[in-house]
A = this chain, B = another copy of it.
């Protein structure tokens, strides 16, 4: 029994006529008759009641017709779907990102992608930069929006936007009134930043910026999430240098200030070069075509 037999069976069940059913199967009646009886023999079940004048389905045949149609439909669907999956029109795409650098980029990219590939299920995974790198290596992510990596020989990378640091302080802080900030302004201040094993790019940028001004960075609190950092600054527990993209979301009790000669860091779309997931290509196509939408305003 294989699916071609099912086609034969359905043809006969629908026409109730050996000759016409055989024609529909592009074959002559005698071998078609043999096919039908071989089906019945292999199932051990009589599917048709027949004599030389008319053909009718048995009760078992009626049930089998129902099942057969369902199976054939599913078969067709599977063959169509596998082609869609291969073309990246359907499937799953696991996209990692860091919201604190991508709060504008991710929603836009997701919207554009969903419009173009509605049958691809986007699985969004918000993680820390270090986690994202690891997951990209392991294949646990198909792509990610993160800081442009330094060593990218195993990654395909396309730059989406750049971000820079901005100072946030409590509204009561002495720096709240200063127009723009220089490294020397940070001398003696209590800094809040994510630890190096969570967001090395940011951490290095902050440390580097202080060092450039000859000021040693003094970190008093090291939460993992950027939103926590904002809250702690709000409470007056320290000051912080955070990505500009995040500053629009701070509350009224926090003041943000531009800093002079801020280091810039790239935010990029990355995917393993070895990725076999065909849905990824479109993501890069969109990133390239609509790059203007992601750029810093």
- Chain A positions within 8 Å of B, measured between CB atoms, are 1-4, 6, 43-47, 49, 58-61, 63-64, 67-68, 70-71, 74-75, 77-79, 81-83, 85-86, 90-91, 276-279
Contacts and interface: CB of A to CB of B under 8 A. Distances in A.
Given A3-B3, A45-B83, A276-B49, A71 B78 contact: yes
A276 B64 contact: no
A86 B60 contact: yes
Interface of A is mostly: helix
A245 to B, nearest CB: 32
Given A1-B79, A59-B86, 16 more contacts: A2-B4, A3-B6, A3-B75, A43-B82, A43-B83, A44-B83, A45-B82, A49-B276, A59-B276, A59-B277, A60-B82, A60-B86, A63-B90, A67-B74, A68-B78, A74-B74
Most B C-beta atoms less than 10 A away, residue of A85, A91, A277: A85
Nearest to A49: B276
Contact of A276 (B58, B71, B77, B91): B58
Q: What's the number of copies of this chain in the assembled complex? A: 2
A48 to B, nearest CB: 11
Top 7 nearest A-B pairs (CB, nearest first) are A67-B78, A60-B86, A3-B3, A45-B86, A2-B2, A64-B82, A60-B85
